[in-house]
Structures are given as structure tokens and as C-alpha cells.
Amino acid sequence: MEIVSIAIATFILFLIGYISYDFKVVSISGFAASMIVALIIIMAVYPYWFSAMLMFLIIGAATSKFRYSVKKRKGVAEAKKGRTYENIWGNAFVAFACAIAFFFTYEGVFLFGYLASLATAAADTTAAEIGVLARKKPVMITTFKRVKTGTDGGISWLGTSSAALAAFAVSATPFVFLHGSWMMIAVCTVAGTIGMLFDSFIGATLERKGIFTKHETNFSATLLGAVIAMVWYFFL
């Protein structure tokens, strides 16, 4: 049954990856990187936990293309070539590391880190892609003053609430396959949402000053989301 599950998960993975590439959600390097990372994660955490990674990929592809013409008109649409391998590693490296750590230790704490990092990545992607569609201009997370749509560090109620829903969707996906718990869902949803807000904070400070790149910001946010969930794990 495990072999069948892995085969099915792999097929779905390649299907989503190909569709994402065909619709220019990811570039050829992004497609290759996502396939390599995802295949290793499938082997490390098994398909039912990998389902969270699939949900993240689906959310990323769907939100990127959602009302794309409106985003293009506003000048905030994702580049036509799609996300590159740097985007993939920035968002998925922490999940990848936690999956490998779980494979060698079988410690539940690493599943919390894995799930929370993906919840953070999904929340951040959703906040960026959906938040720019808000009718009102966002506010800067550090000053709460109105800023231009698409400004690093800008947040909105639409983007933040959508991000929290995305974090919940990723955190709850393994539960559909009878893995995880309600407490795990709650912890990783909260950790993912906090990680997303931290991403905005870094974007408003270090990234705007040129100290961090967008990919380093993504990595920092997913790392914080994972750490919060892993620390929380020991108090459960």
C-alpha cells in the first residue's frame, strides 16, 4: 500500500508541476527544483504528510493565477517567466530539512516544524497574491501608514485573513488522511500566520534596505514558523 500511495502522490505531484510550468507559474528551473525537493520529501515523510506539500503547491499556483489580469493592470503580477529555483528553495528548504530530520529520527517535533514551515510559505504566498487585490491600499506593518499596493512590508485585512486560511488549509490536509491532531492544526496555523507577518516585517526593514533578498526573507519566515511550532510541541 505504501508503494501505491507513493506512486499516486508522485503522479499528482508531476501533474501539478507540469500544469504550473505550462501556465508559467514556475520556470523550468523552478519546476526542476520543486520536483527534486518534493520527491525526496515524499520518501522522507510518506504521502499522507506530503499531502501538505501538495496543498502548498496547489495554493501557490491557484493564487498566482487568481484575477491575474487585475494584478497585471495594477503592475503587481508575478513575472511572466514564473517562480525560479530560488523561490522554491526559499520557501521549501526548511520543510525539506525537517522532513529529512524526521526520516532519520522519527521524532514528531520535526513534523510540527515541517508542517508549520509549509503553512508559513502558503500564508506568505497567499497574502502577497490576494492582498494586492484589496480595494484599500495596504498599511506598512512597522508604521501602519498607507503605502502603495505591492510595497514590501505592506499588509491588509484581505491578505492577512486569506493567509490565515491558507495556513489552516495546509495544516489540516494531513488530518484528512487521519494523521495529525486538532492541536497540531491549531499550532501550525498560528505559527504559519506569525511567520507570514514576520516575512512582512523583514520585508519592511531588512529587505527594503537591500540587506536581505526576497528569498532570504522567505527562508527566515519559514524558519521562524517552524521554530515556533517545534518549541510549542514540547509544551503540549
Indicate the pLDDT class of residue 1, thresholds 50, 70 and 90. very low
Say how far apart CA 165 and CA 111 lie, in whole Å: 20
Instruction: Assess whether pLDDT exceeds 80 at residue 232.
Output: yes
Answer whether 61's CB lies under 8 Å from 22's CB. Answer: no
Domain extents in the chain: 2-233
The span from the CA of 168 to the CA of 156, in Å, is: 18
pLDDT at residue 212 tops 80: yes
pLDDT for residue 61: 84
What pLDDT score was predicted for residue 81? 62
144 pLDDT band (50/70/90 cuts)? very high
Task: Kindly tell me if the per-residue pLDDT of 80 is higher than 60.
Answer: no
pTM for the full model? 0.90
Residue ranges of the alpha helices (H) in 132-235?
A: 157-176, 182-202, 214-233
Q: Give residue 125's identity as a one-letter amino acid code.
A: T
What would the pLDDT profile of 97-122 be if each residue is shown by its tens digit?
A: 999 999 999 999 999 999 999 999 99
CA separation for the pair 188, 191 (Å, rounded): 5
Angstrom distances, CA of residue 33 to CA of 41, 52, 102, 108, 210: 12, 17, 21, 26, 25
